[in-house]
Amino acid sequence: MKRSIVMLASAVLLLSATAQAQNSGPIRFQITAGGTNLYKLAIPLPIGDYGPQRLAKMVQEVASNDLSLAGFFRVLDPKAYLANLAAEGLSINPPDWTNIGAAGVIKARVTPFGDNVSFEFRLYDVSQGNQPVLTKSYRGTMANARLLVHQWASDVVKYYTGEDSFFNSRIAFSSGASGRRRDLMVMDWDGAGVHAITNRSQNLMPAWSPSGAELAFTSYLGGKPDLYLIAAGGGRPKLLSARPGLNMGAAFSPDGREICATLSQDGNSELYLLSTAGAIIKRLTHTPFIDTSCSWSPDGKRIAFVSDRFGSPQIWVMNADGSNQQRLTRRGNYNQTPAWSPKKDEPLIAFTARDEKGAYDIFTVNADTGAMVRITQGQGSNQHPSWAPNGRAIVYESSRGGVWISTYDGRVERQVYRGAAAAPAWGPALK
């Protein structure tokens, strides 16, 4: 009994220390690693008879937030604008924007009608004069107004880079002020529309399926840590694994056919492959130490995990069949919660590390070279990273409270949820 209690406590510690031309133009630029020379964008308030001022502010704030965290742009402070916005209307006077360093300007017109709204957006490349390089119109219900602005911001990213954005994605996390009740919450990536999808017990460590249709999670519904599946919209959880001991830390394979999870049915915390029905396919690790916290590479060929087999928790990598297990991190004495970037061209793994002052921060490590980069520093403790679906941003929990997001290079950081939150998981882009 004493050994199982110690093993449970150790496994939990490993997982968390606190719980174009207008239609088809060419790519205009590409930001290299490190985020240097960010493209400077100005986004003034929209024009039009939009009724409540909050609608115009919403458009400006959502577009600015999206593009600031996209990893490519620096949105300029509206207080610096010199242009006569009323005289410009939907056009621009290029010298007025050049004088404040703006390379691009976004103009918008908002037209509400009843319970619906229409948006007209124009993007200007200041160097090309007063003719827009991208024009889009969107129309929908007032309830979907934020989604329409997200779509415009996505079109701007696509125009400049050829990449998809993460603005149509969601984040799940565990939230609860007491130890007896923690619910799974789902929200838009920027914190809008937050809602609970569970309503009793302690529900922890959500993990999205590749389709975004459901989440796997650990719950004490049965009185001990078992694995469940639940629809992303909520509903009755379905039991996945209730084997003796720990059942926790689920991670879907990229094709959605298998789940890697931590089980201790044999008396020790080990990694197993499960079917989506919960059947054991294969045991992946066989050590007397704690192996936990698995994360798949985007091609499904490798799995990152945490092991303390050399005395302290470190990030390891193995083939998806359990072979070729190799230690990856060799700096620091407490490295945990790996999350593999979805970008296939650079094998980056985000993880939590404890520094010499006892603070936890987010780092990335290259799975091939071992090169490490620190993402957060000097702002409390930050843990349990998860990548945006395009690999351009990272979400994590923070001792400052709530859910925070940083660009992949650490240059821009923002709080997107202010309540109690643990183990955020960024879901796939909605189709």
- Contact at 8 Å (CB) between 341 and 348? yes
Give the largest Cα separation in the chain, rounded: 76
Residue 9 has a pLDDT of 38
Query: Alpha-carbon Rg of the chain, whole angstroms?
Result: 23
Residue 357 has a pLDDT of 83
- Single pTM value for the model: 0.91
Residue 27 has a pLDDT of 47
- How far is the first Cα of the chain from the last one, in angstroms, to the nearest whole number? 48
Is 113 in a helix, a strand, or coil?
strand
Quick: pLDDT tens for 325-378: 999 999 888 999 999 999 998 899 999 999 888 899 999 999 999 999 999 998
Query: With b meaning 16 or more CB within 10 Å and e meaning fewer, what string describes 240-272?
Result: bbebebbbbbbbbbbeeebbbbbbbeeebbbbb
Is 201 in a helix, a strand, or coil?
coil
- Contact at 8 Å (CB) between 122 and 109? no
Read off the DSSP letter of residue 181.
Answer: -
Instruction: Pick 2-18+166-426's CATH classification: 1.10.3470.10, 3.40.630.40, 3.90.1150.10, 2.120.10.30.
Output: 2.120.10.30
Residue 179 has a pLDDT of 66
According to CATH, where is 2.120.10.30 located in the chain? Answer: 2-18+166-426
Residue 37 has a pLDDT of 81
- Nearest partner of 65 among 176, 134, 159, 156, judged by Cα: 156
Q: Rounded distance, CA 98 to CA 29, Å? A: 18
Distances in whole angstroms, Cα of residue 104 to Cα of each of 122, 126, 138: 10, 6, 21
Residue 10 has a pLDDT of 42
Residue 180 has a pLDDT of 78
- Contact at 8 Å (CB) between 288 and 277? no
Query: With b meaning 16 or more CB within 10 Å and e meaning fewer, what string describes 80-110?
Result: ebebeeeebebebebebbeeeebbbbbbbbb
CATH of domain 39-161: 3.40.50.10070
Q: Which residues pair with 204 in a beta bridge?
A: 218
Q: Phi/psi zone of residue 224: left (φ > 0), alpha (ψ -120 to 50 degrees), beta?
A: beta
According to CATH, where is 3.40.50.10070 located in the chain? Answer: 39-161
Q: Rounded distance, CA 189 to CA 185, Å? A: 12
Taking only the tens of pLDDT, the chain with its 431 residues reads 334 333 443 444 444 433 333 333 444 555 544 445 899 999 999 998 766 678 999 999 999 999 999 999 999 999 999 999 999 999 999 999 999 999 999 999 999 888 999 999 999 999 999 999 999 999 999 999 999 999 999 999 999 999 999 999 999 999 986 667 899 999 999 999 999 999 999 999 999 999 999 999 999 999 999 999 999 999 999 999 999 999 999 999 999 999 999 999 988 999 999 999 999 999 999 999 999 999 999 999 999 999 999 899 999 999 999 999 999 999 888 999 999 999 998 899 999 999 888 899 999 999 999 999 999 998 999 999 999 999 999 999 999 999 999 999 999 999 999 999 999 999 999 87
For 263, residues 6+ apart whose C-beta sits below 8 A from its C-beta are 241, 243, 245, 246, 247, 269, 270, 271, 272
Q: Rounded distance, CA 185 to CA 410, Å? A: 25
